[in-house]
Chain A
Amino acid sequence: MTHRTDVEERYPDALGEWPDPDLVQLVGDLDRAYTGSSPALAPQIDAVVLRALRQGAAARGRIAVVRDSGHGHARRPPLLRASGRLALLVLGSGVAAAAAAAVAAGWSHLGRATIIPGTGPGPRLRSIDVGPSPAAVAMDTRAGHTFVIGHDPVGGDVASLLDTRSGTLLRRISLGRRGLAVGSSAVAVDEHSARAFVITPGSPTIAVLDTRGGALLRRTPLPSARPPGLTGDNARALAVDEGAGRVFVTTFADDTVSALDARSGALLRTTWVGPHPAAIAVDRRARRVFIANTGILDRQGRYRGGGSVSVLDARSGMLLQTIPIGQSPGALAVDTRRNRVFVLDRAGLLLLDARTGAILRTVALRGTPTTVAVDERTGRVFVLVGVDGGHIAVLDARAGAVLRTTPVAPPSTGVETLPNAVAVDGRAGRVLVTYEQDHRGPNGVARRAASYGGLSEFDARSGALVRTVRPPGPGLGALAVDDRASRVVAINVHASSVTMIDGAR
């Protein structure tokens, strides 16, 4: 009676000292009925969870671009601790600079958002709940509204609409999709048409919201070859060209960029670009769109070539040029005044001529560059250097010369700083950087419980550190700036609320 023995071995707490044979029979049958072999869908479950794990491992660098572009993972911070959100904010002159912030954000289940207002001399903090897992943020400064996008596999993806001035939560808009998905969250705002365009992980559609009331106006399906849901990661990054009335969306897995009408949200055209387009920026003056194509990565995330920058015509969506970039580009920004494109790859920063596509200069940076922003007023480029860095490099936008390198937070023994996102507050003449910090143990391993972070303000011309604000909690992630209201919204990692901090001036 082998089975009887097995049952008794397995369920000593359900059978007596001298088990009743009928009870053994029952328990054995319950065991058979309930204990199946590996589920038929195990490969699908594995694919998603293990991929999430791998991305979590990569995101431990706390840099979405590091993960997305396959930049080297020089160290491995704790599991999913930052979920890799980064903001790439290109804030132009002549336009309400801080307004529309296209914030590319990585997979997140850990964040919260923070609003940082700028009235009064000292920092003032306020916390507002925005629901679980906020991952991306953008503002409509005309409407005075902020959108925070959260990916919640159980409750469904949600856009939280905040009043930027008061910091109150006005409305939560269900974006519908439930279930686990691995991929990116991103949101970009077109103030001219009062529309917000939202990517949520795994969704094959772009959600179009009214920025004034938050109404969900439509969902535009992207022509993705990948099914929604389990496979995830359809769309990756967004950028708006208000002048051309276009929204551009990269589809990482399909190597395409789609152009949408900014008012109606209708899909106008889809263009094949290079392998794995991960980041996007618009040259409003030249009406060109620049796309960083990560290139081909193997299963270990090693770069196998094919990195490039694609140039599209913003009106027609036509591919104009492909510029090979040697080391897996992952982030970029444009200076329309000086006709410069700044591209980050594994080696550092590349300076391109926006008109011809010629690579003018390659700038090596100490550590792994993760994100870049430009202040066209001051002609400065700001590069966050994460892994082995923890600093911000300030460069001259015309020549690409490194002017200054400043730690993102005051240095402290045994503490490692990892900058997350950067934004320019043009009106205040400040550059804002969010970061996280870890105490390092004697063996160099991060001690998870000790992590914290904050926001540092730098002078936009000199790059000098002006002040650091440390709200409660383990650190800040993606951010957006409203320089009219002197407000900053940042993702606050590992939580689900919003904090308001008095501003930058």
Chain B
Amino acid sequence: MQHIRAVPQDRADTAVNDEAALVQAAWEDPAAFETLYRRYRDRVYWYLRGRTTTEEDAADLTQQVFVLVLDALPRYQVARGSFAAWLFRIARNAATDAHRRRRTTVAWDLVPEALQRALEDDVEAQVLRREALARLGALVTALDRDKRELLMLRFAARLPLADIALVIGKSEDATRMALARTLQRLKEQYHDASN
């Protein structure tokens, strides 16, 4: 079992206060929201990219999410959690709604663009890395939905555990435990597959 540390509290508090101030400012000056938008655009996109089948769907959904956030901005309450947690709750609901409406199979594969990036200078090393990532993609795809969601929120959305807990509606301890177990299981499978 992994021993999991928390994100340093002072850093988290600073971010929350900073973003609460930006949200407040956005009520009075939309330019302030642009800061938040630019801060989260890629994270929202990559999270949604993992929940959609095409880049276009992810881009479309990303736009929708930010419009929904703009709409709901006056309802954001700092006391109920960080802006990031609130934002990704909206993103998660939007992705779920979109999936439900389309009734199509959504691939939870790793992000293709990322898989195709050159990771090493050495061509042989590149090939090996790609193969490794492809194996990892297959392992992630085989996970159940909740575990994949955990990984998306942690690695694509880059949310800390406390925020993930808010997004998925579980306690921080339960979230920490679920992530640790998922990583542990994945690690073993990944190691076995690599060997």
Interface residues of A in 39-59 (CB under 8 A from B): 39-42, 44-46, 48-50, 52-54, 56-57
Rounded to whole Å, the gap between the CB of B55 and the closest CB of chain A is 6
Given the complex, which residues of B lie within 8 Å of A60, measured CB to CB?
30
| Bound complex: CA A494 to CA B71 (Å) | 8
CB-based contact A26/B190 at 8 Å: yes
CB-based contact B71/A34 at 8 Å: no
Q: At the interface, yes or no: B146 with Cβ under 8 Å from chain A?
A: no
Taking a contact as CB atoms closer than 8 A, the residue among A33, A39, A56, A229 that contacts B70 in the complex is: A56
Please, what's the 1-or-0 string for B108-124, where 1 marks a CB less than 8 Å from any CB in chain A? 00110111010100000
Given the complex, which residues of A lie within 8 Å of B94, measured CB to CB?
154
CB-based contact A76/B29 at 8 Å: yes
CB-based contact A35/B156 at 8 Å: yes
> In the complex, how many residues of chain A place their beta carbon closer than 8 angstroms to a beta carbon of chain B?
61
Q: At the interface, yes or no: A95 with Cβ under 8 Å from chain B?
A: no
Given contacts A39-B45, A53-B33, A448-B74, contact A29 B132 (CB under 8 A): yes
CB-based contact B187/A22 at 8 Å: yes
| Bound complex: CA A57 to CA B29 (Å) | 7
CB-based contact A26/B42 at 8 Å: no
Q: At the interface, yes or no: B87 with Cβ under 8 Å from chain A?
A: no
CB-based contact A45/B183 at 8 Å: no
Given the complex, which residues of A lie within 8 Å of B74, measured CB to CB?
78, 81, 448-449, 494
Given the complex, which residues of A lie within 8 Å of B140, measured CB to CB?
30
| Bound complex: CA A37 to CA B119 (Å) | 13
CB-based contact B71/A49 at 8 Å: no
Given the complex, which residues of A lie within 8 Å of B161, measured CB to CB?
13
Given the complex, which residues of A lie within 8 Å of B20, measured CB to CB?
none
Taking a contact as CB atoms closer than 8 A, the residue among B7, B68, B115 that contacts A13 in the complex is: B7
CB-based contact B5/A12 at 8 Å: yes
Q: At the interface, yes or no: B154 with Cβ under 8 Å from chain A?
A: yes
Q: At the interface, yes or no: B73 with Cβ under 8 Å from chain A?
A: yes
Rounded to whole Å, the gap between the CB of A66 and the closest CB of chain B is 15
- Which of B67, B94, B133, B154 is packed against the most chain A CB atoms within 10 Å? B67
Rounded to whole Å, the gap between the CB of B2 and the closest CB of chain A is 5
CB-based contact B33/A179 at 8 Å: no
Please, what's the 1-or-0 string for A71-99, where 1 marks a CB less than 8 Å from any CB in chain B? 00000101111000000000000000000
Taking a contact as CB atoms closer than 8 A, the residue among B27, B41, B176, B190 that contacts A45 in the complex is: B41
Given the complex, which residues of B lie within 8 Å of A40, measured CB to CB?
55, 113
Given the complex, which residues of A lie within 8 Å of B29, measured CB to CB?
57, 76, 79
Q: At the interface, yes or no: A446 with Cβ under 8 Å from chain B?
A: yes
Interface residues of A in 105-135 (CB under 8 A from B): 109-110, 133
Rounded to whole Å, the gap between the CB of A34 and the closest CB of chain B is 4
Interface residues of B in 27-58 (CB under 8 A from A): 27-31, 33-34, 37, 41-42, 45-46, 49-50, 55-56, 58
| Bound complex: CA A367 to CA B21 (Å) | 32
- Which of B28, B46, B66 is packed against the most chain A CB atoms within 10 Å? B28
Number of A-B contacts (CB under 8 A): 189
Q: At the interface, yes or no: B79 with Cβ under 8 Å from chain A?
A: no
Rounded to whole Å, the gap between the CB of A301 and the closest CB of chain B is 13
Given the complex, which residues of B lie within 8 Å of A52, measured CB to CB?
66-67, 70
> In the complex, how many residues of chain B place their beta carbon closer than 8 angstroms to a beta carbon of chain A?
69
| Bound complex: CA A81 to CA B151 (Å) | 36
Q: At the interface, yes or no: A360 with Cβ under 8 Å from chain B?
A: no
| Bound complex: CA A13 to CA B160 (Å) | 8
| Bound complex: CA A13 to CA B180 (Å) | 9
Given the complex, which residues of A lie within 8 Å of B132, measured CB to CB?
29
Taking a contact as CB atoms closer than 8 A, the residue among B67, B111, B117, B158 that contacts A49 in the complex is: B67
| Bound complex: CA A179 to CA B102 (Å) | 13
* Closest residue of A by beta carbon distance from B111: A36
| Bound complex: CA A349 to CA B181 (Å) | 70
CB-based contact A17/B67 at 8 Å: no
Given contacts A40-B113, A80-B70, contact A23 B42 (CB under 8 A): no
Given contacts A45-B45, A79-B73, contact A179 B63 (CB under 8 A): yes
CB-based contact A27/B183 at 8 Å: yes
* Closest residue of A by beta carbon distance from B136: A29
Given the complex, which residues of B lie within 8 Å of A37, measured CB to CB?
42, 117
CB-based contact B64/A13 at 8 Å: no
| Bound complex: CA A31 to CA B63 (Å) | 24
| Bound complex: CA A402 to CA B156 (Å) | 61
CB-based contact B30/A49 at 8 Å: no
Rounded to whole Å, the gap between the CB of B126 and the closest CB of chain A is 12
CB-based contact A49/B63 at 8 Å: yes
CB-based contact B28/A22 at 8 Å: no
Taking a contact as CB atoms closer than 8 A, the residue among B59, B66, B151 that contacts A44 in the complex is: B59
Q: At the interface, yes or no: B168 with Cβ under 8 Å from chain A?
A: no
- Which of A12, A39, A42, A178 is packed against the most chain B CB atoms within 10 Å? A39
Rounded to whole Å, the gap between the CB of B154 and the closest CB of chain A is 7
CB-based contact A45/B62 at 8 Å: yes
* Closest residue of A by beta carbon distance from B160: A13
| Bound complex: CA A229 to CA B63 (Å) | 11
Rounded to whole Å, the gap between the CB of A451 and the closest CB of chain B is 9
Given the complex, which residues of B lie within 8 Å of A76, measured CB to CB?
28-29
Given the complex, which residues of B lie within 8 Å of A153, measured CB to CB?
63-64, 67-68
Given the complex, which residues of A lie within 8 Å of B58, measured CB to CB?
39, 41
CB-based contact B155/A30 at 8 Å: yes
Interface residues of B in 55-99 (CB under 8 A from A): 55-56, 58-60, 62-64, 66-68, 70-71, 73-74, 94, 97-98
Name 11 interchain pairs, CB-CB below 8 A, sorted by A.
Answer: A14-B154, A23-B183, A26-B136, A30-B136, A33-B110, A34-B151, A35-B46, A39-B42, A39-B59, A45-B59, A178-B101
List 10 tightest A-B contacts by C-beta distance, closest first: A41-B59, A34-B155, A180-B63, A109-B71, A34-B156, A57-B30, A33-B110, A448-B27, A78-B27, A153-B64
Can you name 7 extra interface pairs (CB under 8 A) apart from A29-B190, A34-B110, A79-B33? A13-B160, A33-B111, A33-B115, A34-B50, A56-B70, A79-B73, A230-B63
